[in-house]
Structure 1
């Protein structure tokens, strides 16, 4: 049985793309993981490393090296890289799945003949481009890592077509797409029960309370919709407590919006299935937001919801292709409200049925099959 390493400097229990990697390869490979939090999967050896705690002195030294473009020095002095080197130096694998550019120099140094596959979740050189200081210090560093190391990988993929094309354009590599599709979820027996019984139309958004996502625009949309509509926001508050408090204050002033506590990852789809519409306005604060194709989009589909989204190209393309719902003309609350107000009950029911059919096509099982085929091809 071939030995496979999944390396991601993150929590391997809460990262959906990482978790799905383990699911896809289970039974076919002898698996090892490396990261900050054990995946806790039977039969997987896990190499645990500490998540670094940065003090002001460490940050100052790092910024000094970044300013003078000492990028190799920056990378190899990262605490997590130093610890990971100790864990990997005596290990051998046939295949390594490296998540993001920060894993790549490390795995290439210690691959010992292994095939290296890189999952570039987003477009790294523009990840936080809305921040001046990030653009000043980190964007050139991320560009250096991509330019230097991505061409050395055996296979590269990302989450959406727009992001994949940007890697190809700027680094001359082939970059494929493996989406963040959710696992297939059997439709609830009462798929259309709520939608047929009442004129009320229930919208849901779920995710982190992150200011970069501009969730307040979705709240403001509810000022312009007709009386049929209500919105529930299921938010993870601890990402940014100050922003969550701001949203909470906005919601308290409105009768048609609520904030709900988050459910577990496994419960997101069955919980969402009681709603009519999956709702997402994502203002493009950066390149990755513009070309986002997030987990929640596919979770809306598996929950058999109609979809109401802003005109981000990747989400809009699939929404049009499978006739899943409405796309507002721009990213404003008023335009989205116009699109929502024009909806009929019959249209919503049709979009839900279209999601029901699309759930069989756009799912993690299909994407996992693609990945398994890739592994087989590159190890032949």
Structure 2
């Protein structure tokens, strides 16, 4: 297995091509931006510096299957494949990946639509993280991806004991604007002394500026503690010390409205209760498995209201339900989907 990407080699890679961190994966050069602005999308397909680098490095190599990890590398994947099957692994609804950013909405979103329209029908397989997003790809591009969720491996853990006089909230993830992290801080400030909040946040690409704003916002609230980020493989065991995993992300765009992030599955594997807003897929799973509470909306007041009357016995019940759901909500549940997808792709190649 050959892997290509930013950063060091992942586990199990036989060969790894590390893309230099200074090479962007979109055509963010003067010629590239000009191509996007003038709708020269065919020319823009190979204009990103990282794309050109990878194409040149892999020019002489041959593969049995090529996995395109996100829509922006669809053209590159087909070029590298040289006729071999391509699996498009679409983590989000690509046309609206960053539509909250004006330049992305004006220049990149139409390019993403071009890539999807041209290359998805040519793929041997497609996948995405939830059924509503699969339906969007079907509606706009005529392909219906199989669902492979962002679930991690099953963890051998037990629900941690409950303190009747304390509700230990926790959140893990990136310190990225637009995720309503301020609401967590403001909600805990408004809740009674039973509630604490621990945050395991990875600084964003802004040099940590947003994380510093959050830290300042929580200054003086001794019930809120910031911790260094934890490696993904260690997260469930770390989070297991807490009671409730929280994530109230407002539906500012399609991907936020339909998000089913890996942190949700981390909370379940950690045997935590889950507190979310009315986010479509997270709400569905919380209610189906009895995992926790769903706020009526995403304001601080609505988040506070969803937690304020929470009892220790309710938290115990939610944590027990999470424990029962860990096998269904683990990667092992999706692994067979991936095996079937790969087998089908390779048999297509043989045909």
Q: Shorter-chain TM-score: what band?
A: over 0.9
Deviates more, 1:347-356 or 1:41-50: 41-50
How big is each residue's C-alpha offset from its partner over 1:311-353, in whole Å with a ceiling of 9 and x where there is no partner? 1101101111111000000011111111111222111111101
Deviation at 1:53, TM superposition (A): 4.1
**1:87-166 matches, cutoff 5 A:** 87-166=57-136
1:205 corresponding residue in structure 2:
171
Deviation at 1:109, TM superposition (A): 2.5
1:217 corresponding residue in structure 2:
183
1:14 corresponding residue in structure 2:
none
Q: Secondary structure at the match of 1:182?
A: coil
Q: Distance in 2 between matches of 1:202 and 1:143?
A: 43
Over the aligned positions, Cα root-mean-square deviation in angstroms equals 1.8
Q: Distance in 2 between matches of 1:314 and 1:255?
A: 33
Distance 1:271 1:41, change over 3 A: closer
Deviation at 1:371, TM superposition (A): 0.1
Deviates more, 1:220-229 or 1:322-331: 220-229
2:225 corresponding residue in structure 1:
258
TM-score by length of 2: 0.93
Q: 1:170 pairs with 133, 140, 143, which one? A: 140
Distance 1:169 1:43, change over 3 A: closer
2:245 corresponding residue in structure 1:
278
Distance 1:95 1:304, change over 3 A: same
Deviation at 1:71, TM superposition (A): 1.0
1:185 corresponding residue in structure 2:
155
Q: Distance in 2 between matches of 1:379 and 1:53?
A: 32
Q: Distance in 2 between matches of 1:110 and 1:59?
A: 22
Deviation at 1:42, TM superposition (A): 5.2
Q: Distance in 2 between matches of 1:86 and 1:64?
A: 23
Distance 1:43 1:136, change over 3 A: closer
**1:1-380 matches, cutoff 5 A:** 31-41=1-11, 44-53=14-23, 59-188=29-158, 191-193=159-161, 195=162, 197-240=163-206, 241-380=208-347
Distance 1:40 1:136, change over 3 A: closer
Deviation at 1:77, TM superposition (A): 2.2
Deviation at 1:126, TM superposition (A): 0.4
Distance 1:42 1:184, change over 3 A: closer
Q: Distance in 2 between matches of 1:169 and 1:35?
A: 30
How big is each residue's C-alpha offset from its partner over 1:137-157, in whole Å with a ceiling of 9 and x where there is no partner? 111111111111111111111
Distance 1:170 1:299, change over 3 A: same
Q: Distance in 1 between matches of 2:82 and 2:88?
A: 16
Deviation at 1:236, TM superposition (A): 1.5
Q: Distance in 1 between matches of 2:81 and 2:107?
A: 29
How big is each residue's C-alpha offset from its partner over 1:95-116, in whole Å with a ceiling of 9 and x where there is no partner? 1111111221122123234221
Structure 1: 5+ residue runs without aligned partners? 1-30
Q: Distance in 2 between matches of 1:232 and 1:347?
A: 20
How big is each residue's C-alpha offset from its partner over 1:10-51, in whole Å with a ceiling of 9 and x where there is no partner? xxxxxxxxxxxxxxxxxxxxx111222332545612233323
TM-score by length of 1: 0.86
Q: Distance in 1 between matches of 2:275 and 2:224?
A: 16
Q: Distance in 1 between matches of 2:28 and 2:101?
A: 21
Deviation at 1:58, TM superposition (A): 6.1
Q: Distance in 2 between matches of 1:247 and 1:257?
A: 11
Distance 1:74 1:113, change over 3 A: closer
Q: CA contact under 8 A between 2:274 and 2:293: conserved in structure 1?
A: yes
1:19 corresponding residue in structure 2:
none
